[in-house]
């Protein structure tokens, strides 16, 4: 677990309490010991009690409890700054050590009554950074679309069944428009709009969707989406003639039972397609297709403010995660340069 001979009495009592009463694992207890040991060494060095001893050699077994009883929030913040600067701790490491200190001072306050109020009460724990959104590469996205080959035009002929055409249309909308799952399943056939271009160019095609917070927004369709939509609508109309009850069905995308497709059914369709492309088990999902569309648009020059509107984000801060993705890819590209290895001095 940890060497108790290296800890002062009050720290041993806290760790024993954490292990027995709180039922924490030996690994967690050992981590807390090392985190708090760092803090105590920092305080001894700060208070001039280390006598010039190297930081890693400072003996905390002689730590005076009165020094700890006088700790204030500022001391803890200074420690976290020390971890980031002089020790180069990662965001994740600082988060863990801040949590350990909060638990430690909570114990000293509630169990030993060393403080009326814990000095860590108002400590803002540096939250772990959100992971970058996972997305498909361009090659993987193209492969996923091609896997719906029974729903792809072959010259001037087309012989796909209506389910394959529907699935291809769904996949095309996700990967081109960055729609949310809820937006796609709640879409109605009448939401599809076509308007003449006032500038005299090609007609403009778009769909009105209901986004988060019941806010309606416009999703414009590119050539791939228009083609996929037209193919599917043709098949849907053929189905309506066979099943008269479908004439009253508003949903754009329908299931085998001739009713609005469910979110779970769409998730299953995407899962099956991912599996057929060998992309299962890699953490991809319907929502990752939305990330893929956004990442590809941003990497190909779409302004971040425009992308915010395309995705229907309330805040620009939400959209800016895609700038981090691009930056990470640029850093990786530089690191992959064959000249990245420094030339050793002879």
Point out the residues that are catalytic: 180, 212, 287, 290, 313, 322
Query: Sheet harboring 192-195: ordered strands across?
Result: 192-195, 204-210, 216-220
Find tokens 């308007």 and name the residue. Answer: 195
What count of Cα atoms within 13 Å lies in the side-chain half-sphere of residue 303? 3
Q: What are phi and psi of 216, to 5 degrees?
A: -80, 140
- For Cα atoms 231, 235, 236, give the angle at the middle one, nearest 5 degrees: 115
Q: Find, among 273, 261, 307, the residue nearest to 136 by Cα.
A: 273
User: Of all helices (H) and strands (E), which one includes residue 332?
Assistant: helix 321-335
Q: Is 137 helix (H, G, I), strand (E, B) or coil?
A: coil
Residues ≥6 apart with Cβ < 8 Å to 137: none
Tokens representing residue 24 in the block: 């924490």
3-state secondary structure of 133: coil
Residues 229 and 166 sit within 8 Å (Cβ to Cβ)? no
């Amino acid at each position: 677990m940890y060497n108790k001979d290296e800890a002062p009495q009050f720290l041993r009592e806290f760790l024993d309490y954490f292990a027995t009463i709180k039922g924490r694992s030996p690994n967690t207890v050992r981590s807390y010991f090392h985190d708090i040991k760092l803090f105590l060494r920092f305080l001894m060095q700060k208070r001039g009690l280390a006598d010039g001893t190297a930081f890693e050699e400072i003996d905390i077994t002689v730590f005076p409890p009165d020094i700890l009883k006088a700790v204030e929030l500022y001391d803890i913040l200074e420690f976290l700054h020390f971890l980031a600067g002089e020790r180069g701790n990662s965001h994740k490491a600082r988060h863990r050590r801040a949590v350990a200190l909060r638990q430690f001072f909570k114990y000293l306050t509630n169990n030993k009554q060393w403080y009326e109020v814990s000095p860590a009460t108002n400590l803002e724990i540096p939250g772990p950074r959100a992971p970058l959104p996972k997305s498909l590469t361009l090659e993987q996205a193209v492969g996923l679309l091609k896997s719906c080959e029974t729903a792809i035009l072959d010259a001037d002929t087309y012989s796909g069944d209506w389910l394959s055409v529907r699935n291809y249309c769904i996949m095309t909308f996700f990967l081109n428009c960055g729609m949310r799952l809820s937006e796609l399943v709640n879409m109605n056939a009448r939401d599809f709009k076509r308007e003449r271009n006032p500038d005299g160019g090609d007609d403009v095609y778009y769909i009105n969707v209901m986004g988060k917070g019941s806010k309606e927004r416009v999703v414009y369709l590119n050539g791939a989406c228009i083609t996929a939509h037209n193919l599917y609508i043709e098949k849907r109309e053929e189905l309506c003639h066979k099943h008269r009850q479908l004439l009253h069905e508003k949903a754009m995308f329908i299931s085998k039972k001739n009713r609005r497709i469910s979110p779970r059914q769409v998730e299953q369709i995407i899962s099956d397609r991912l599996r057929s492309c060998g992309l299962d088990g890699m953490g991809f999902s319907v929502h990752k297709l939305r990330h893929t569309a956004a990442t590809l648009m941003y990497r190909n020059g779409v302004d971040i403010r425009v992308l915010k509107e395309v995705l229907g984000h309330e805040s620009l801060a939400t959209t800016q995660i895609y700038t981090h993705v691009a930056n990470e890819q640029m850093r990786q590209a530089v690191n992959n340069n064959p000249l990245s290895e420094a030339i050793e001095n002879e």
